[in-house]
Amino acid sequence: EPEVTQTPSHQVTQMGQEVILRCVPISNHLYFYWYRQILGQKVEFLVSFYNNEISEKSEIFDDQFSVERPDGSNFTLKIRSTKLEDSAMYFCASRDPLGSNQPQHFGDGTRLSIL
């Protein structure tokens, strides 16, 4: 069964450094998402992306965050200057374009630890 893959599985970064989290969505999917989950808390929506532009973003997704689909297979989340509170699991998801009710499929996440 096709799946969303994320790399790295764990990223440790010094506060203030830039970090790029990578995702390979399911191949025929055209809608892409990033979510995060701080340890012990709910899964939170960050951003949705379609047709090479952001469709929607949450309040969390401020100017320090950006997303990109640099080629036909990768979808990345960049945090420009990391803060301690950015420590979380970051999940990428993708969805089939055939119908708005299609479920989102998630990767197993990148654990981001900011020191």
Partner 1 sequence: LAKTTQPISMDSYEGQEVNITCSHNNIATNDYITWYQQFPSQGPRFIIQGYKTKVTNEVASLFIPADRKSSTLSLPRVSLSDTAVYYCLVGEGRNTDKLIFGTGTRLQVFP
Residues that bind partner 1 (CB under 8 A): 4, 31, 33, 35, 42-45, 48, 56, 58, 89, 91, 93, 95, 100-101, 103-109, 111
For the CB of residue 50, give the shortest distance to partner 1 in the complex, in Å: 9
The rounded distance, in Å, linking the Cα atoms of 24 and 108 is 12
Residue 24 or 43: the one with the smaller Cβ distance to partner 1 is 43
For the CB of residue 11, give the shortest distance to partner 1 in the complex, in Å: 14
Helices (H), the chain: none
Residue 75 or 91: the one with the smaller Cβ distance to partner 1 is 91
